[in-house]
Structure formats: structure tokens, C-alpha cells
Amino acid sequence: MTIKQKLSTINHTTILGIKINLVSMVEAVDLVSNWIKKKGKHYIVTPNPEFIMAARQDQEFWDILNQADLAIPDGVGLKLARTQIKEIIPGVDLMEQLCQLFQ
């Protein structure tokens, strides 16, 4: 399965119109580590409640968040808003996991 196919199989939800991928930390690390091993560009966003509220007033920010290759839920408020979110994945924790993986 290609990375693009794998990403298309990841479910997502929206909170006030902002896409949030429904991934666990393990799934996010697996996906991003596969991106790193292959050529190409991808970007990850870490929406939290503050980002979502800011995006409501800023169309460019809205587009950036919604067009990301991966939008990990970064904030407890998102879990409270959508119970189908598997877990909160702080961006710093994802980066630490990736750094450990590629030491």
C-alpha cells in the first residue's frame, strides 16, 4: 500500500470545519516514518482549540490546516469535543518519538 493510499484510509473528523485525523501515536509515527524514508514533501499540523478558533477568523490559516497531509489532535479540548478521537498527540511528543526512531 502506498503512503497516499494509507493516508486515504485514515478516518478523520472535523471540529468547526477543521479536519482532524483519527490516529493514535503509533499510527502517526508509522505514517511519518514512512514519509521520511521516501522522497516527497508532506506537512503535519497540530490543531488545538486555539488554532481552530483562530482559523475561523483567518481563511489562509483555515486552508493551511485543512490541506495538511496529517492533522494530529493536539489539545485535550479536542478530545472533549469529539469522543471518536483516539488520543491526544502533542506535536512535541510526536517529534520526540520520531527523533528516537531515527537516532
The total of structural domains in the chain comes to: 1
| Chain segment 6-50, per-residue pLDDT in tens | 555 678 999 999 999 999 999 999 999 999 888 889 999 999 999
pLDDT of residue 73: 94
Residue 34's domain spans which residues?
Answer: 3-101
Flag whether pLDDT at 60 surpasses 60.
yes
Is pLDDT at 1 greater than 70 in this prediction? Answer: no
pLDDT, residue 15, reads 92
CA distances from 5 to 10, 61, 62, 93 (A): 9, 26, 24, 25
CB neighbour list of residue 47: distance below 8 Å, 6 or more residues apart: 15, 18, 20, 65, 71, 72, 73, 74, 75, 78
Contact of 31 with 7, CB cutoff 8 Å: yes
Greater model confidence, 5 or 13: 13
CA distance 73 to 76: 8
Q: How confident is the model at residue 81 (pLDDT cuts 50, 70, 90)?
A: confident
pLDDT of residue 101: 86
pTM of the model: 0.85
User: How much is the pLDDT for 40?
Assistant: 85
